[in-house]
A and B are shown apart, each in its own frame.
Chain A
Amino acid sequence: MAPLLEVRNLKTQFKSKDGVVKAVDDVSFHIDKGETLGVVGESGSGKSVTAMSILRLVQNPGKVVGGEILFEGRDLLKLEDRDMRKVRGKEIAMIFQDPMTSLNPVLTVGRQLSEPLITHLGLTKTQALKESVDLLKMVGIPNAAERVRSYPHHFSGGMRQRVMIAMSLACRPKLIIADEPTTALDVTIQAQILELLEKLQAETGTAVMLITHALGVVAGMADRINVMYAGHIVETATADELFANPRHPYTMGLLKSIPRLDEARRGRLEPIKGSPPDLLDLPKGCPFVSRCEYALPQAETIRPELRQVPAEADGGRSEHWIACHSEVKMGDPPVHEAQEVA
C-alpha cells in the first residue's frame, strides 16, 4: 500500500547575510494512513520547518530548494497555489503550539469553524453553524451551542487548543500536523488534549504527524518516531523499538539525560556534552560528531547516510534506520575509553 504522505530528499534553506541555513537537509520519510508519526528533536533541529515545507507555508527568506512531497501520489511542491490552498484546508490540517497565532481574535469561534465548511464542503451557513456546534461538542467544550458565539480570548489555553483541534477536524482531513500542540499547556491539560487527540484519531482514522521535544509524549502517542538533529533525520523506528533499542548516539544521549518520573534517583544525570551545532557552520561529516562519545575518525569528514539496522523489539518485523558510522548500543563504553583498554 502506498503511504499517505511520502517526503523524498526534502531540502529547505534560509538565506541570511551570514550564509545559508540548511534548516532541513535531505530529509526523507513517510506517513501511512491512520498512523501517528512522532517527530522529536531539540530546538532548531528542523521539525517545524519540515512541517511548514509540507504545507508550503515556509516564508521568505526561506525556500524549499529540493525534493518531493508526495501526498496520495501527487507532488505538493508542483501544485498550483489554488490547489494547494484546497489541500491545506481540506486534506491536511495543522495545529500549532500557540492557538492564538491561528485563531482570528475578532471573529467568533463559530464563524471561524464555519468558514472552511462553507468553502471546502459547500455547506450552507446554517448547516455549517450546526456542524460547528457538533465539532465543539466532539472536542469536549461544554455548552457548545452558546460557546460558538464566543471569541477566542474568552477561552482558556486548553480550551483554545480544543477549538484548534475542532477546526483542524472540520473537513475530515486525512492528515493532521500537530506542532507542539501541548507544549504551552500544563500537564493535566496536556493529558486532556492528548487523550482527546487519541480518541478522535481512533474515530476518524486520521493520520497525525506529532511534533514535540518531549520524549514522554511521543512514547505514549506515536506508532513510529523520527529523531531529528541539525536538519537531518538521524534515527527512525517504531516507538517500541526506538525506546527499547536506540541505536543512534544522539537518541541514546537524550534518553540517558532525562530523569524519569517513575524511577527513584539513580545518581547523577548523564547529559550530552556541548550544545547543538550552529547551522551556519556545520561540520563536514556527522552533525553530531563534536558531542558524540562514540565518534569514529571518519565521522569528522564523511556524512553518514541513513542505513538499516536490525529491529529487535518486535522480532525484526519493523524497520529501524540510523545515520551513524558506529555500531553501538545503549550502555556501550565510550569509544576513547575502549581504545585505551585495547
Chain B
Amino acid sequence: MSENNLNGSRGRKPGEKSKPSIDINRQATAVMDDLAPSADPNVLLSVRNLQQHFPINQGIIFQRQVGAVRAVDGISFDVRKGETLGLVGESGCGKSTTGRTILHLSRPTGGKIYFEGKDITGIRGQELKRVRRNMTMIFQDPYASLNPRLTVQNIVAEPMVIHGMGTAKERYEKVQELLELVGLSRHYGTRYPHEFSGGQRQRVGIARALAASPSFIVADEPVSALDVSIQAQVVNLMEDLQSRLNLTYLFVAHDLSVVRHISDRVAVMYLGKIVELADRDVIYTTPAHPYTRALLSAVPIPDPRAEKQRKRIILAGDVPSPINPPPACRFHTRCPLAQQICREEAPEFRDIGGGHFSACHFAEDVASGKLSMV
C-alpha cells in the first residue's frame, strides 16, 4: 500500500471543513487490503481488514456452531485527526457493529485497529482503559442510553468516576461546565432523564460522552430518533464542539442528507463491506459505485419540482442475509449493471483517483456516467 493513498486533502487545520481536492499525481490504483496502518501522521485511527463474525449456535445440550452472521466482513479505512467520517448504509449492513468493534465493545474476529499509530486490536485491562478514555460513543436512542435512576449530574460524571478523574468537587464543577457547553442549564444536574425532551436527553448523552475528554467519538445515529426541528440543533452542537475541542467523529447514520452536511468524507457500507469511500462532495456528485448511486437516488428531496425531475433507480428485492452473502461482488444480486465477472470475482476496494475508493469492477465508468443506471 502506498503511504498516502487514503488522503485526498492533507494538512488541514483541525476543525476546518475540508474541500474535495483531487491529487492527480497520486497513484491511482492503491488498494487498502494489507494490515499495515497508515503512515500519515494526520491519521488518528486506521482500520484494516476488520472482521466481526457473530457465531450462530445450535443444539440445546451440545452447542455447535452452524454458521456466522458476517456483520462486518473485512473493511479498511482511515479517520484523520479533526475530521468527520460519515458511515452510511441500510439497516443491518454493519455500521453499528463497526463502531462498537472499534471501541472494543466487542472483540473483532479478524483484522487490525490502530489508534494514534499503535495497534490496539485485542488490548485488555489497564491498556484498554487508557484507550477507552480517548474514544467514546454517542448512542441513537436518547431514551434507552441513559440510566433512568441516576441524576443528570451522576450520569455525566460517570466516565470520570470510571477513569478516576478528579475529586468529587472537581467532577461536580466539570459536569456544570459540560452542561453549559452542550446548551443545558447548570441546575439541570439534579434532574432525572425522564424530565427531559428527546433533544435535551441527547445533549445529556453528548455531555457524558465528553466527560473524560476523549479525542475520538463514534456517534451512532445521534439524531435519528429526534424530530427534524431538533435534529439541526444537535447537529450544530456537534459541529461546534468539534471545532472547540478538536474532536474527531465517526458519524454513523442512515440519513444521507445529514451525512452530506456534517461529514468531510463519507464511507458507504453494504452487507458488511465498505463499497465506496470519498470526499463528501465527490461521493454525492460523482458516485463510483452502483449501490451508492441507487441509495442517493432513493433519498426524497424536500422540493416538489426537483422530485418531479429526478429519476429513481429502484433496486429490485431485499438486502440478502449477512449469514450467506452472495459470492464475488456482494451487490451483484441487486445491481442493475452486474456482468458475469461480478458473479465470479470480488471487486477490489481500490482508489480510482484522489482518495476516491470504490469496490466495483466498473467504478470508473460508473463515476463518469458512461454506464448509466436509469
> A residues bordering B, Cβ < 8 Å?
42-43, 156, 158-159, 186-192, 194-195, 213-217, 219-220, 239-240, 243-244, 253-255, 257-262, 264-265, 268-273, 275-276
* Shortest Cβ distance from residue B104 to the other chain A in the assembled complex, whole angstroms: 28
User: Are B90 and A271 in contact, CB atoms less than 8 angstroms apart?
Assistant: no
* Shortest Cβ distance from residue A275 to the other chain B in the assembled complex, whole angstroms: 5
User: Are A261 and B199 in contact, CB atoms less than 8 angstroms apart?
Assistant: no
* Shortest Cβ distance from residue A187 to the other chain B in the assembled complex, whole angstroms: 4
> B residues bordering A, Cβ < 8 Å?
17, 90-91, 197, 199-200, 227-233, 235-236, 239, 254, 256-258, 260-261, 280-281, 284, 294-308, 312, 314-315, 318-319
**B308, closest chain A residue (CB):** A220
Which A residues lie within 8 Å of B257 (CB)? 258-261
A195 in contact with B229 given A258-B257, A259-B260, A261-B284 (CB within 8 Å): no
User: Are A213 and B228 in contact, CB atoms less than 8 angstroms apart?
Assistant: yes
C-alpha gap A271/B202 in the complex (Å) = 15
User: Are B254 and A186 in contact, CB atoms less than 8 angstroms apart?
Assistant: yes
Which B residues lie within 8 Å of A262 (CB)? 301, 306
* Shortest Cβ distance from residue B119 to the other chain A in the assembled complex, whole angstroms: 35
User: Are B318 and A219 in contact, CB atoms less than 8 angstroms apart?
Assistant: no
Which B residues lie within 8 Å of A239 (CB)? 304
**A189, closest chain B residue (CB):** B318
C-alpha gap A156/B236 in the complex (Å) = 36
Which of B91, B261, B281, B295 meets A259, CB within 8 Å? Answer: B261
Which A residues lie within 8 Å of B304 (CB)? 219-220, 239-240, 243
Q: Max chain A CB contacts within 10 Å: which of B232, B239, B258?
A: B232
User: Are B197 and A275 in contact, CB atoms less than 8 angstroms apart?
Assistant: yes
Which B residues lie within 8 Å of A158 (CB)? 318
A186 in contact with B200 given A192-B314, A215-B228 (CB within 8 Å): no
* Shortest Cβ distance from residue A97 to the other chain B in the assembled complex, whole angstroms: 14
9 additional A-B pairs beyond A42-B228, A275-B197, A276-B227, beta carbons within 8 Å, are: A186-B254, A191-B298, A191-B315, A213-B228, A215-B302, A216-B302, A216-B307, A257-B228, A258-B257
Query: What are 23 inter-chain pairs, A to B, with CB distance below 8 A?
Result: A42-B227, A43-B227, A187-B90, A188-B295, A188-B298, A190-B298, A191-B298, A192-B314, A194-B300, A219-B301, A219-B303, A240-B304, A240-B305, A253-B229, A258-B231, A259-B257, A261-B301, A265-B17, A268-B236, A268-B239, A270-B232, A271-B232, A272-B229
Q: Max chain A CB contacts within 10 Å: which of B233, B254, B284, B295?
A: B233
Which B residues lie within 8 Å of A215 (CB)? 228, 302
User: Are B298 and A269 in contact, CB atoms less than 8 angstroms apart?
Assistant: no
**A220, closest chain B residue (CB):** B307
User: Are A260 and B315 in contact, CB atoms less than 8 angstroms apart?
Assistant: no
User: Are A265 and B227 in contact, CB atoms less than 8 angstroms apart?
Assistant: no
Which B residues lie within 8 Å of A268 (CB)? 236, 239
The 7 closest A-B pairs by CB, nearest first: A216-B300, A271-B232, A259-B261, A191-B298, A220-B307, A186-B90, A215-B302
C-alpha gap A255/B301 in the complex (Å) = 11
Which A residues lie within 8 Å of B228 (CB)? 42, 213, 215, 254, 257-258
C-alpha gap A254/B228 in the complex (Å) = 7
* Shortest Cβ distance from residue B181 to the other chain A in the assembled complex, whole angstroms: 17
Which of A191, A219, A257 meets B231, CB within 8 Å? Answer: A257
* Shortest Cβ distance from residue A144 to the other chain B in the assembled complex, whole angstroms: 15
* Shortest Cβ distance from residue A3 to the other chain B in the assembled complex, whole angstroms: 22
